[in-house]
């Protein structure tokens, strides 16, 4: 098969991929800065491998019409695993980061070995449902183009991405020093990579939407806790130890609450999911936690939609704090686009988005920037995880952490 590890092949593939409606070969030459001969040769190889196909012809001016090229989205597949305190999500995505199969498992327990067996069983089941095949060593051309490339794993902070190990993720007790990359690779025979859920979510946005790589994008991740991620030039900025964007203890200028870190007004005091659920209980809004935190927040959101003033106030206060943090971060990072997402944001956005826009009013007016909610929904962590692997495998010049 085509060696999609080669830089020029990745560059051509990315150029074609970024035009889902189809792109002429001369445009690929212009945008990739490769020679016409190189693009022609690589395109033929990609087509022979089923990764690229003709997408009709376009007539522009005199001369013969251009043949348009596009990526065959389901030619390769990647698995995404999101280890979240509220659930474990497993998806299989195509090359456009669209989920073609998905399942949600019960949250992580204090037995990581058993949990990873559940994940491996889910991967096997989803793969079978698609007729996907794991390439065996020395295998020739695939009998089917449904090929699994590998696994991306997204998890809360407290991880060593380079080593592929979860060190001490918050809210997932019992998962201490768990080598998730090696463990899932061993049982599936597929390569795997690990990153923070925040970075995965932003990678999912960039990959699935072909966001302009010239843009600086700030992502606000709303889950059990709140985190941020920033990209420039199409790459997520991970920091020296993959800890960039740990903003839980960012002071947001309030003095009414004291934090365990010794300071006042830390963001997490107003935005951690359990804070919202606790406030709902205190205010007499009926939210049951028996089905998990996400369900409790959905109940809070439903109460707000039904006209409960306390429910609206609680979500509004959360979003106000979020907006204040985003205003500070917008000043630090100077983004052109701010995206809010994460597993619990879909439950909060109906009330919360207007509050966030309010808090960002000055920034919106002065920067001309865009603020929007993620379109990836509550599967954003798993879709992002799959995107991490796609990016590592298929984007030119990527050096990804935590690869087995």
Residues lying near Zn ion in the complex (CB under 5 A): 249, 259, 261, 266
| Nearest by Cα to 340 from 230, 229, 222, 191 | 222
Q: Please report how close the Cβ of residue 377 comes to Zn ion at its closest, in angstroms.
A: 30
Cβ nearer to Zn ion, comparing 247 with 351: 247
Cβ nearer to Zn ion, comparing 257 with 291: 257
Strand 235-236: give its sheet, edge to edge.
235-236, 226-232, 217-222, 337-341, 370-373
Q: Per 3-state DSSP, what percentage of the chain is helix, strand, and coil (rounded to 5)? A: 40, 20, 35
Cβ nearer to Zn ion, comparing 18 with 317: 317
Cβ nearer to Zn ion, comparing 221 with 363: 221
Q: Please report how close the Cβ of residue 266 comes to Zn ion at its closest, in angstroms.
A: 3
Cβ nearer to Zn ion, comparing 266 with 299: 266
- φ and ψ at residue 192, rounded to 5 degrees: -140, 160
Q: Please report how close the Cβ of residue 103 comes to Zn ion at its closest, in angstroms.
A: 36
Q: Please report how close the Cβ of residue 336 comes to Zn ion at its closest, in angstroms.
A: 30
Q: Please report how close the Cβ of residue 267 comes to Zn ion at its closest, in angstroms.
A: 8
Q: Please report how close the Cβ of residue 261 comes to Zn ion at its closest, in angstroms.
A: 3
Q: Please report how close the Cβ of residue 264 comes to Zn ion at its closest, in angstroms.
A: 8
Cβ nearer to Zn ion, comparing 48 with 261: 261
Cβ nearer to Zn ion, comparing 129 with 257: 257
Contact 344, 287 (CB under 8 A): no
| Nearest by Cα to 238 from 213, 202, 192, 184 | 202
Q: Please report how close the Cβ of residue 249 comes to Zn ion at its closest, in angstroms.
A: 4
| Nearest by Cα to 329 from 224, 242, 241, 221 | 221
User: What is the C-alpha to C-alpha distance for residues 247 and 325, in angstroms, rounded to an integer?
Assistant: 8
- Alpha helices by DSSP H, 98-252: 112-130, 180-188, 197-209
**Cα→Cα distances 110→85, 115, 266, Å:** 11, 9, 29
DSSP class per residue in 45-73: HHHHTTSEEEEEEE--SSSSPEEEEEE-G
| Nearest by Cα to 296 from 308, 309, 285, 282 | 285
Region of 99 please: left (phi>0), alpha (psi -120 to 50) or beta: beta
Cβ nearer to Zn ion, comparing 265 with 341: 265
């Amino acid at each position: 098969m085509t060696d999609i590890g080669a830089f020029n092949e990745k560059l051509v593939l990315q150029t074609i991929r970024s035009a889902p409606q189809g792109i002429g070969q001369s445009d690929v030459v212009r945008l990739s800065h490769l020679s016409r001969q190189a693009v022609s040769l690589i395109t033929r190889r990609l087509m022979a491998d089923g990764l690229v196909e003709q997408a009709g012809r376009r007539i522009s001016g005199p001369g013969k019409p251009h043949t348009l090229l596009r990526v065959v989205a389901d030619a390769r597949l990647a698995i995404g695993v999101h280890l979240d305190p509220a659930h474990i999500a497993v998806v299989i995505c195509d090359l456009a980061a669209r989920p073609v199969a998905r399942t949600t498992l019960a949250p992580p327990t204090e037995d990581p070995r058993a949990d990873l067996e559940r994940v491996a069983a889910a991967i096997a089941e989803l793969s079978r449902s698609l007729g996907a095949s794991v390439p065996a060593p020395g295998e020739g051309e695939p009998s089917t183009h449904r090929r699994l490339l590998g696994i991306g794993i997204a998890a809360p902070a407290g991880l060593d991405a380079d080593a592929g190990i979860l060190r001490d993720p918050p809210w997932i007790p019992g998962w201490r020093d768990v080598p998730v990359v090696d463990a899932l690779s061993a049982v599936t025979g597929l390569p795997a990579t690990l990153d923070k859920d925040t970075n995965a979510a932003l990678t999912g946005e960039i990959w699935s939407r072909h966001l302009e790589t010239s843009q600086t994008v700030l992502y606000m991740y709303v889950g059990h806790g709140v985190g941020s991620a920033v990209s420039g030039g199409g790459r997520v900025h991970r920091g020296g130890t993959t800890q960039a964007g740990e903003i839980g203890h960012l002071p947001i200028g309030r003095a009414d609450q004291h934090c365990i870190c010794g300071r006042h007004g830390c963001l997490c005091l107003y935005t951690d999911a359990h804070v919202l659920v606790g406030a709902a209980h205190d205010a007499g809004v009926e939210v049951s936690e028996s089905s998990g935190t996400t369900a409790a927040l959905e109940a809070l959101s439903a109460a707000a939609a039904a006209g409960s003033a306390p429910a609206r106030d609680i979500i509004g206060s959360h979003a106000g704090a979020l907006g204040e943090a985003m205003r500070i971060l917008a000043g630090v990072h100077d983004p052109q686009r701010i995206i809010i997402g994460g597993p619990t944001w879909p439950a909060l956005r109906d009330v919360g988005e207007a509050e966030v826009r309010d808090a960002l009013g000055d920034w919106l007016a002065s920067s001309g920037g865009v603020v929007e909610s993620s379109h990836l929904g509550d599967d954003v962590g798993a879709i992002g995880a799959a995107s991490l692997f796609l990016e590592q495998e298929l984007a030119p010049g990527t050096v990804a952490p935590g690869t087995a």
